[in-house]
Structure formats: C-alpha cells, structure tokens
Amino acid sequence: MSGLSSRHVLVVDDEPELCPVIRKALRSYDYHITCAKNGYDALRLYDQERDSFSLILTDINMPGMSGCELALDLKARGSRIPILLMSDDCIQPLPIKCRSLGLSGCLAKPFTPDKLRHALDETSRMANRVCESTAKALNLRVYPDPILREYCTPISTYDSDLQALSEQMFIFMRENCGVGLAGPQVGIIERIIVADDSETALCLVNPEIISASGTERMVEGCLSLPGVQVDVARNAHVGVIGKRQDGKRISIEADGLLARILQHEIDHLNGTLICDYDPVSKMYL
C-alpha cells in the first residue's frame, strides 16, 4: 500500500475528457489516478480516503469552487498534501500567498505527457524536501542563542532546496504571526529573509540596502526576543537589491512597514538585534 499511496494523484477538473487523458498519459508510469469532477467532489473523496493521496492536481478555474478555494478548504481540514494547479493561463511564479496554501506550482495547459510527469515528480520531490527541512531545520532560535549573533554567509546556489527553504520560512513566519523572518532565526546562517507586510510578500536572498533616506521611529518586536519591545529609529525609505529564491535579480523601493521589516531582517543577517538599539531592553531578556 505504501507504494500506491506514494504515487496516488487526485485529479480535479470540470472537463470530463481531461482525466482519462491524464490517466492514459501516466499509464506507463507508477501513478495511480483518481478523478474528481469539481472541488466539492474532491473534498468528498479527500474526506473518504485522505491518507491515500500523495498529490492533488487541480484546475484553477472551475464552476462553484476554484482550485485556490479548494486549497483553502483542504488546508482548513488540516491537509498537507501538495497541490499542483493547472491552467490555460498560469501566473509564474505562483504568488507566494498561494504557495503558503500548499500550492506548489502551476502546470500550463495544454501539456505533454512528459511535462505532466515531470511536474508531478518535481512537486512530490519538493514536498518531501519541505517535510525534511521542517523536521530538521526550522526551530525558532531565541535570544541568547549565539546563532543570532552570527554574520550570515551569502548564498550562491539557487536550487530546489532553497526554494523549499523559502516556502517553509513563509509558512513558519505566518504560523508564528510574524511579518518577517531571517535565516538565523530558524538556524540557517545564510543571507535569506522573508517579509510580508500584508500588501507585499517576498523572499530576498543576499539583500543589500543601496539607498536610504528619512527617519521614523516605531516600536518593534521580534520572534527571537519574546516579550521585548523596542522603540527603534530606522530609515523611512530604503532601496534594497538582492535576488529572489529562483536567482532572479530584484530591486525594491520600500517605505512604511515594509521598509522597516526589511531593515530589521537585514539586521538579523549581520547579527544585530532590536535590543542593541536600546541596552535597557536587555534587562527584560
């Protein structure tokens, strides 16, 4: 049974002709396919045999319940099954907020059997790595853990491990109600941060502040300094360059909360904590 469940795909699509095509395309490979005709049908099948499925392949646009709404409902049921979307019109890369729902990517329609199999293989592989990284690496480091004082090293390899790490950092940050998270806070002494000010969610690798202006004060907290709040003066506007988790260059002009989060998280990469801005706050640690 473990062999079956490790390759059992729930295909959700309102086009009745698609599922048999997928089944045929994967016939020579070790995939077992179950078909659902819409999101409600998929939830019913999930409720009946939730431990059986290893992956869900769903159309984005379906009448009644979209692929993203299905992902939300599955998440509410506690599902951790990776979900691969398929669409005539994929947005690549998938918005980070979608990925935090467990959506692993988007397969553009129409696809060849090879593309389909590659996408399923890749989604399964990524999901396994995410599980491994969760188990091994993502433990919150709390002051005075010396790792929080390390100067983090630049990242030079942009592979699926880094992609999996960034996704896991987003999930970790959100589960802990944070708006930003830096590598050392989860035991990774490398230059990677994630930030989400509720308007912009981004992962930055090797971020550098290249311009800064204005000054603002705001009271900040930090997941690694529980219970501590410090009034920190920071630049009101910053220009930051770096790379995304896929290695593409990124340049951001930020102000308001996002500017503050970026400065706070980049501080972490240099071993600086908010308590350094107010030595008195260390009395409460």
Least Cβ distance, residue 178 to Ni ion (angstroms): 8
16 exposure class (CB count in 10 Å sphere: 0-12, 13-18, 19+):
exposed
148 lies in the site for Ni ion, by CB under 5 A: no
Instruction: Convert residues 99-138 into a mask of x (bound to Ni ion by CB under 5 A) and - (unbound).
Output: ----------------------------------------
**Which stretch in 5-13, 64-72, 202-210, 214-222 sits in contact with Ni ion by CB under 5 A?**
214-222
Q: Which is nearer to Ni ion, 184 or 242 (CB)?
A: 184
Q: Which residue is nearest to Ni ion (CB)?
A: 222
User: Is 265 a known active-site residue?
Assistant: yes
Q: Which of 167, 190, 220, 265 is the catalytic position?
A: 265
d(CA 275, CA 39): 49
d(CA 279, CA 251): 33
| Total residue length of the chain | 285
d(CA 46, CA 41): 9
d(CA 37, CA 16): 7
Q: Which is nearer to Ni ion, 104 or 185 (CB)?
A: 185
Residues contacting residue 39 through CB under 8 Å, at least 6 positions apart: 12, 58, 62, 64, 65, 66, 67, 69, 70, 73
Q: Which is nearer to Ni ion, 117 or 174 (CB)?
A: 174
Site residue total, Ni ion (CB under 5 A): 1
222 lies in the site for Ni ion, by CB under 5 A: yes
As annotated, the active-site residues are: 265
Q: Which residues make up the interface to Ni ion (CB under 5 A)? A: 222
